[in-house]
Structure 1
């Protein structure tokens, strides 16, 4: 495999990861907070409706978790393609 092919596969995989994580973030923020809020509001957490909780706090927690997931995925991808600095 040439360096050009290796770089193309690396970036293709990277973009795939980014799109999947953005979809998850969209579903957690817009989907849970706006689209599915009526269904989620039937469940309560700490006295607050779940749809309201996702709109106010849950989406931020999901975003922070996705940052850590992305770092882990990219570290594995870097090692796979030999781009790790260690």
Structure 2
């Protein structure tokens, strides 16, 4: 995961600080961007989505300890099937 995040960081030009619970694999990547530069927020969100997709590909989850909010909602379909997501909406 750390190698994959480092590659995404290099590719995007955005620094990523990795903070995590080493014992349980719970990751909290901090994507650093300048909100005053046009497009940097969107780029940071894109990198965040790719990190979540890496997590799923490695057998992990996008949900973490705090669930899924606005930041992670677009990657729900990376981990769950349509019928599972429909149950979540009930």
TM beyond 0.5: no
Between structure 1 and structure 2, the one with the greater Rg is 1
Q: Which has the higher contact order (CA 8 A, sep 6+)?
A: 1
Counting helix residues as a fraction of each chain, which structure ranks higher? 1
Structure with higher strand content? 2
